[in-house]
Amino acid sequence: MTDASRTTSSRLAPKRIYRFLAIAEAVTWTLLIIAIIAKYAFQLDTLVPIAGPIHGFVFLSYGAMQLVVGHNQRWSAGTVLLGIVTAIVPYATIPWERRLERRGMLEGDWRMQATDDPRDQRPIDRLFRWAINHAVLLVIAVVILVAIVFFLLLQAGPPTEWFA
């Protein structure tokens, strides 16, 4: 591995991407809360339609990242699910990220090659390694999937109206 690829690899390591999206999720919560306060305290309705979708897209991206990083780091399904749930509670993504970091659960690079671990022989792990080795395609696919889910949720309307 060259110095340049090592730098790129560490710059895009799971830990860095995870931290970035955990902070972005908290920042967009702040924008949404400010927009809601402005709407009800100052009758300024123009901010929620901007902050809401931004937060929604980052929220979904954070959830997708939980799945990708969680699989890479071999987290249990419960840990991945709990990570997704932290995005629902304002600002919970940051302490959750810190907890994972303290426990060493974000250490390491992307699993781009098979190891002796028997789990690496599973079809899902082979597909995962292929996707990680084709990062541009993976990012495009994730962005498209997040956009589709985002669009479907917009069409469904507010969750309070789903079963009404």
51 touches 68 (CB < 8 A): no
Residue 128 structure tokens: 């995962």
Report the distance separating Cα 98 and Cα 124, nearest Å: 28
The pLDDT > 70 percentage for the chain reads 93
Longest dimension (CA), the chain: 61
Please indicate whether residue 26 or residue 9 has the higher confidence score (pLDDT). Answer: 26
Q: Which two tokens stand for residue 89?
A: 């509670």
What is the C-alpha to C-alpha distance for residues 85 and 16, in angstroms, rounded to an integer? 20
Span 151-161, pLDDT tens digits: 999 899 877 88
pLDDT digits (tens, 9 = 90+) for 73-110: 999 999 999 999 999 999 999 999 999 999 999 999 99
Q: Is the confidence at residue 17, as pLDDT, over 60?
A: yes
Assess whether pLDDT exceeds 60 at residue 2: no
Average pLDDT over residues 133-144: 93
Tokens, residue 107: 């250490």
The tokens for 117 are: 């671990």
Spans of all domains in the chain: 14-161
In this prediction, residue 3 carries a pLDDT of 45
Q: What CA–CA distance (Å, rounded) separates 48 from 77?
A: 33
Task: Name which of 92, 90, 69 is nearest 79 in CA terms.
Answer: 69
